Amino acid sequence: MVAVFTTVLITNANAQQGGGGQGNFDPAQMAQRYKDRVKPQLIEKTKLTDAQADKVCDIQIATRQQMRGLRDLSEDDRKKKMDDIQADVNKQYKAIPLTDDQIKSVNDFFDEMRKQMQQQRQNGGGGN
């Protein structure tokens, strides 16, 4: 779920940035925009250090790459693959190292952001 949210967030951020010149789809620029947008909130809500938040954002960005192509899978296969990816993400969080409480806090943070984005979409807004 975290990875799905990240994909939506980065795509939405990219769409909002559109029209501002070349390079909008440059992976490094997309990653930096994601960090600029998410990292301050992540630090505030989860009380991670700047370095920990950087690593969490990097994991989220990399996870986005793994999520590509999951739309083509059946619902059952997609759910299994997403569960596998989430387990891997949690292992990566442990390696930062984050405590179990910090991992829960980070996952809750991204779940809440995903819910907010879904609400914005249902209300016909793009988050502006």
Average pLDDT on 96-120 reads 95
What are the structural domain ranges in the chain?
Answer: 2-13+25-108
pLDDT score for 91:
97
pLDDT score for 20:
46
Following DSSP, what letter does each residue of 45-77 receive, concatenated? HH---HHHHHHHHHHHHHHHHHHTTGGGS-HHH
pTM of the predicted model, to two decimals? 0.77
Number of other CB atoms surrounding residue 20 within 10 Å: 8
Instruction: List the single range of 24-28, 61-65, 74-78, 111-115 with lowest mean pLDDT.
Output: 24-28
Judge contact between 3 and 60, C-beta under 8 A: yes
